[in-house]
Chains A and B, each alone.
Chain A
Amino acid sequence: MARRFTPKIITTNDLLEGDVIYLTADGSWTRRFSDAKLFLEQAEAEAALARIETRQDIHVGAYLADAETGIDGRPQPVHFREQFRATGPSNYFHGKQAETGDVQVQ
């Protein structure tokens, strides 16, 4: 039996800032995990990843990460590594957790 596909988001690091960004439904980038597009089909996720991999002028090292729908209906991380990437380090209030305001990329 084929394994059930775990929904995915596409994430990468911004070329200039180096910080974590996510692909949105309209093909732009966001700095918030919850604004990422959730892919429910493997083929669609892989096709989208192949498309954005050509945009190396924007980002570095795109990959698919497991995600699930939270109680608010928006995607949230499954693995703790993605949780940390979405939040920032635990020893200082730096990174995503300290960011406010505009989170759009470019």
Chain B
Amino acid sequence: MYRYSEFDDAFVRARVAEFRDQVNRRINGSLTEEEFKPLRLKNGLYLQLHAYMLRVAIPYGTLDSRQMHQLAHIAEVWDKGYGHFTTRQNIQFNWPKLADVPDMLEALADVSMHAIQTSGNCIRNVTADHFAGAADDEIEDPRPTAELLRQWSTDHPEFQYLPRKFKIAVSGSPNDRAVTRAHDIGIRAVRGKGDETGYEILVGGGLGRTPMIGKVIRSFLPKDDLLPYMEAILRVYNLSGRRDNKYKARIKILVHETGLDELKDQIETEFTARRRVFPGVNQRLLESLNAHFAPPEFVDAESSEYELRRTRDPLFRTWCDTNLNRHRDPNLAIVTISLKPVAGTPGDATADQMRTIADLAKSFAHDEIRVSHEQNIILPHVPKAFLPRIHDRLKRSGLATANIGLISDIIACPGMDYCALATARSIPIAQEISQRFDELRLERKIGPLKIKISGCINACGHHHVGHIGILGLDRAGVENYQITLGGDATETAAIGKRPGPGFSAEELIPALERLLDAYLTIRLSGNETFLQCYRRLGDQPFKTALYPDSARKAA
């Protein structure tokens, strides 16, 4: 993984010192809140419902055991002993005190971490496929590209006051695990005619109030041209993006209102000019970054212990079947550690659990850890021989839930339990769903299903791209939940459709039960997933299940 240079370290520490001074001046009254707010947001510090919240950047979701140990330490010393991993592959601490935040940032700087550009109208933490460097379908590791973008975008003087926040995701595989189609810019590694690697560039994707799937603006961009092309897009957006209305300020609206062809012309003109001023430093930098992400040396280990345990231990076998993915080296596996225990809070980990994960990564998994946008933790490089021991330790720490990709592997934003913007709670809904379907013992029968829950229209919980999306709203002073169906976050991305009116919190779980009962009845076989079934039949049978009364009236 990327190791900070002296420059990086000095830069991050200078920012901590600067913010310490700003906090002091806020506390002694020299700065008003109006003056201080943009400064704290630049350092990832929000004020939420019950407390401040510090959002820490985990660039493209990659960290090592030392960093995970430090996050555990921060959680214990300055928070309430846990952290919340987010859909942006970051971690949030929900209970810091204002005066402690500079110390927290100092502790982060000690392990080459920071909270810079995790908020505000700038280029945010660049996200990437959480299986980067390990997946067997990969064209190339997306992380050197993501790191190049991180270095380029950090403190980029031209792009500190964009019309709105700006999110970039990078995928190195044809199978999109990074939701590139729902980002302001999505970058996908592709092979060109001569088999050389380049990028497909998508622009104008996004969720929120006006969900849009990103459009291809360049089907093949040579790698050397990445940064001038990014600058061209950002410059056109910076100049032409709407600043009159916060809800129309994202680049998706500019793409929509200007039209892709017209915008492409503007971007290409800008690109031609920009390209001339890029002296090639960026290409040399990218080459040097590749070395930082060189794969660890995989050794052929004896895996008979793994095979034996599989045959003897059904719990282990079930966990392997759901939580492992194929590694490009057949002796290894990609392990997903579920942060979705039954009735738990999606994405939360205690300090002890973070330490367990860190120790496992260090001892058995080449010291690499990833955070997924689906709010789970990944050990990307695990020799199969170690899987039984890893499973044993995860079990002891409450981390062995075997549910990846199933109904209880839910994305949920913090919702009105924490967030000041939320219109309803998300977490209790996720807890009830996982508890209810665990009681019904239907999880495995239902099979692959992505439920995603947001507590407001801003859609941090990605509800638009959930197979079943749930959006919490305030309807006349009561929490109300709208369902969407048929969303998809992958390479076949789609925005879910709303089949009808919302449900109260009490009505919601029975409605989901009816919906999934209907699916189990009408699916062609156990192999037809919910999404496939929905795509085959459309929303009518699901509508009938959700709204039996109106179906009866119509009959």
- Do A and B truly interact? yes
Q: Which of A26-78 contact B (CB under 8 A)?
A: 56-57, 60-61, 78
Report the minimum CB–CB distance from A72 to chain B (whole Å): 22
Find B52's partner among A18, A80, A96 (CB 8 Å cutoff).
A18
Q: State whether the Cβ of B501 lies closer than 8 Å to any Cβ in chain A.
A: no
Report the minimum CB–CB distance from B382 to chain A (whole Å): 30
Inter-chain contacts of B474 with A (CB < 8 A): 80-81
Q: State whether the Cβ of B98 lies closer than 8 Å to any Cβ in chain A.
A: yes
Inter-chain contacts of B348 with A (CB < 8 A): 91
- CB pair A16–B428 under 8 Å, yes or no, is no
Inter-chain contacts of B27 with A (CB < 8 A): 15-16
Inter-chain contacts of A91 with B (CB < 8 A): 345, 348, 417, 427-428, 431
Interface SS of chain A: loop
- CB pair B98–A16 under 8 Å, yes or no, is yes
- Some 6 contacts from A to B, beta carbons below 8 A apart, are A15-B26, A16-B99, A56-B33, A60-B47, A85-B50, A88-B50
Inter-chain contacts of B345 with A (CB < 8 A): 91-92
Inter-chain contacts of B99 with A (CB < 8 A): 16
A residues with a Cβ closer than 8 A to B are 13, 15-20, 56-57, 60-61, 78-81, 84-85, 88-92, 94-96
- CB pair B97–A84 under 8 Å, yes or no, is no
Inter-chain contacts of B50 with A (CB < 8 A): 18-20, 85, 88-89, 94-96
Given the known interface contacts A56-B33, A57-B29, A78-B477, the answer about A18 and B97 at a Cβ–Cβ threshold of 8 Å is yes
- CB pair A18–B417 under 8 Å, yes or no, is no
Given the known interface contacts A16-B99, A94-B80, the answer about A81 and B416 at a Cβ–Cβ threshold of 8 Å is yes
- CB pair A18–B47 under 8 Å, yes or no, is yes
**Shortest 8 CB-CB distances between A and B: which pairs?**
A89-B417, A18-B52, A18-B51, A95-B50, A57-B29, A91-B345, A91-B427, A60-B33
Q: What is the bound-complex CA distance between A96 and B33, given in angstroms?
A: 24
Q: What is the bound-complex CA distance between A81 and B420, given in angstroms?
A: 9
Inter-chain contacts of A92 with B (CB < 8 A): 80, 345
Q: State whether the Cβ of B32 lies closer than 8 Å to any Cβ in chain A.
A: yes
Q: What is the bound-complex CA distance between A40 and B168, given in angstroms?
A: 50
Inter-chain contacts of B52 with A (CB < 8 A): 18
B residues with a Cβ closer than 8 A to A are 26-27, 29, 32-33, 47-52, 80, 95-99, 345, 348, 416-418, 425, 427-428, 431, 474, 477-479
Inter-chain contacts of B47 with A (CB < 8 A): 13, 18, 60-61
Report the minimum CB–CB distance from B554 to chain A (whole Å): 34
Report the minimum CB–CB distance from B84 to chain A (whole Å): 10
Inter-chain contacts of A95 with B (CB < 8 A): 50-51
Residue of A at shortest CB range from B417?
Answer: A89
- CB pair B29–A84 under 8 Å, yes or no, is no
Residue of A at shortest CB range from B425?
Answer: A90
Inter-chain contacts of A56 with B (CB < 8 A): 29, 32-33
Inter-chain contacts of B431 with A (CB < 8 A): 91
Residue of A at shortest CB range from B31?
Answer: A56
Inter-chain contacts of B477 with A (CB < 8 A): 78-80
Known: A18-B96, A89-B418, A91-B417. 5 other contacts (CB 8 A): A60-B33, A79-B477, A80-B477, A88-B50, A91-B428
- CB pair A94–B32 under 8 Å, yes or no, is no
Inter-chain contacts of B428 with A (CB < 8 A): 90-91
- CB pair B49–A85 under 8 Å, yes or no, is yes
Inter-chain contacts of A20 with B (CB < 8 A): 49-50
Inter-chain contacts of A19 with B (CB < 8 A): 50-51
Q: What is the bound-complex CA distance between A92 and B348, given in angstroms?
A: 11
Report the minimum CB–CB distance from A81 to chain B (whole Å): 6
Q: What is the bound-complex CA distance between A17 and B52, given in angstroms?
A: 8
Q: What is the bound-complex CA distance between A15 and B25, given in angstroms?
A: 13
- CB pair A90–B427 under 8 Å, yes or no, is yes
Residue of B at shortest CB range from A15?
Answer: B98
Q: What is the bound-complex CA distance between A89 and B412, given in angstroms?
A: 15
Given the known interface contacts A18-B51, A19-B51, the answer about A80 and B33 at a Cβ–Cβ threshold of 8 Å is no
Residue of B at shortest CB range from A17?
Answer: B97
Inter-chain contacts of B97 with A (CB < 8 A): 16-18
Inter-chain contacts of B33 with A (CB < 8 A): 56, 60-61
- CB pair A80–B478 under 8 Å, yes or no, is yes
- CB pair B51–A17 under 8 Å, yes or no, is yes
Q: What is the bound-complex CA distance between A92 and B477, given in angstroms?
A: 23
Inter-chain contacts of B425 with A (CB < 8 A): 84, 90
Q: What is the bound-complex CA distance between A95 and B80, given in angstroms?
A: 10
Q: What is the bound-complex CA distance between A15 and B29, given in angstroms?
A: 11
Inter-chain contacts of B427 with A (CB < 8 A): 89-91
Inter-chain contacts of B479 with A (CB < 8 A): 80
Inter-chain contacts of A96 with B (CB < 8 A): 50
Q: What is the bound-complex CA distance between A64 and B433, given in angstroms?
A: 35
Q: What is the bound-complex CA distance between A18 and B45, given in angstroms?
A: 11
Report the minimum CB–CB distance from B146 to chain A (whole Å): 32
Report the minimum CB–CB distance from B80 to chain A (whole Å): 6
Inter-chain contacts of B98 with A (CB < 8 A): 15-18
- CB pair A90–B417 under 8 Å, yes or no, is yes
Inter-chain contacts of A85 with B (CB < 8 A): 49-50
Q: What is the bound-complex CA distance between A56 and B47, given in angstroms?
A: 14
Q: What is the bound-complex CA distance between A17 and B100, given in angstroms?
A: 10
Report the minimum CB–CB distance from B398 to chain A (whole Å): 15
Q: What is the bound-complex CA distance between A16 and B348, given in angstroms?
A: 25
Q: What is the bound-complex CA distance between A56 and B37, given in angstroms?
A: 12
Inter-chain contacts of A15 with B (CB < 8 A): 26-27, 98
Residue of B at shortest CB range from A58?
Answer: B29
Q: What is the bound-complex CA distance between A63 and B477, given in angstroms?
A: 18
Inter-chain contacts of A88 with B (CB < 8 A): 50
